[in-house]
Amino acid sequence: MALTEFWFVLIAVLWTGYLVLEGFDFGVGMLLPVLGRNDTERRVLINTIGPVWDGNEVWLLVAGGATFAAFPEWYATLFSGFYLPLLLILVALIVRGVAFEYRGTINDNRWRGRWDLAIIVGSVVPALLWGVAFANIVAGVPIDADRQFTGTLLTLLNPYGLLGGLTTLLLFALHGALFLGLKTHGEIRERAIALAARLSVPTLVVAGGFAVWTQLAHGKTWTWLAVIVAAAGLVGVVLAARAQREGLGFTLTCLVIISAVVLIFGSLFPNVMPSSTDPAFSLTIDNASSTPYTLRVMTWVAVILTPFVLLYQGWTFWVFRRRLTTADIPEHAGLSWRMSERSG
């Protein structure tokens, strides 16, 4: 395997890690007003992801950094052409992070309500726009001979892009509901699993439609395997959620997300950003990559450091594996409550 191919695959792996891990974070945030009927229950929901959400976002930083270093032309065209949606995602992530930190600093219902709204919006916006972005990347966008994006925001808001956004929105909500089923006890767990059962059917329909559209319009022969695995996984999620087997359901949503990334990146290869203006203007793993020396240095760094990152994150999930209930939530105590919430 050439180094350009290796880094294309590695970037796909990094995005897979981000979407699987941050996907349930987005789901929990989106479901905050649905499953949290009072402040104590909402604190339970937030505490399920409290120890891990910021660590999960590291995968996005690494994926972006790897793209910048390995494929600078791809990074430049992507971030200039998708500037507004990526800015909205960044602002949403910042607002959501601030909300996690600030909602418990003042013991006031209106204060917490405003920050809860920030968490909800900060979860919905990225969950929707990541799907829109990836759908447009695989379908191709107007790029000229100078590798400049020549479209507008409305160019990205096409039917296929919007279907991609709706797919990730529903899939992450389902992923988050099953995660909450794994991480909670009592009524919250029962409501989360019941909601997952209701979400599973529309997610199957929408995500299945997007996968088939992607395969027929942009896929390759071998990517049918990813479509079949994703479809089987979604059917399994429907059955698992109705049988209240949240562990199996969560595993299957992870498999569906992995299959979706394989379908998208497999459909792209060897392109990294196809041009809808002229295929000759497309960015590929060859004309968008860094020098061989840069890729060799990056490969050694990745080989040495990646195992430590995986071990650390695995250890974090193991330490905070216990299920939570409302009995684990202490009374409000101003700033000191904030610290107990972060460690809850």
Q: Is residue 199 part of a domain?
A: yes
As a whole number of angstroms, the distance between CA 244 and CA 196 comes to: 9
Q: What does R_g of the chain's alpha carbons equal in angstroms?
A: 20
Global confidence as pTM:
0.93
- 114 versus 305: which is more confidently predicted? 114
The domain in which residue 94 lies consists of 7-343
Q: Given this model, what pLDDT does residue 339 score?
A: 38
167 neighbors 207 (Cβ within 8 angstroms): yes
Q: Is residue 45 part of a domain?
A: yes
Q: Given this model, what pLDDT does residue 332 score?
A: 61
For the segment 294-344, what is each residue's pLDDT rounded down to a tens digit? 999 999 998 898 888 889 889 989 998 889 888 888 776 444 334 344 444
Taking each helix axis as running N to C, give the angle between helix 83-102 and helix 109-139, from 0 to 180 degrees, rounded to the nearest 10: 150
Q: Is residue 165 part of a domain?
A: yes
As a whole number of angstroms, the distance between CA 177 and CA 172 comes to: 8
How many helices and strands, by DSSP H and E, does the chain display?
14, 2
For the segment 141-184, what is each residue's pLDDT rounded down to a tens digit? 999 888 888 888 888 899 999 999 999 999 999 999 999 999 99
Q: Given this model, what pLDDT does residue 207 score?
A: 96
Q: Tell me the pLDDT band of 1, cut-offs 50, 70 and 90.
A: low
As a whole number of angstroms, the distance between CA 6 and CA 28 comes to: 33
Range list of β-strands (E), the chain? 271-273, 283-284
Q: Is residue 1 part of a domain?
A: no
Say how many domains are in the chain: 1
- Burial (CB < 10 A; 0-12, 13-18, 19+), residue 98, is middle
Q: Given this model, what pLDDT does residue 155 score?
A: 87
- Name the DSSP letter for residue 284: E
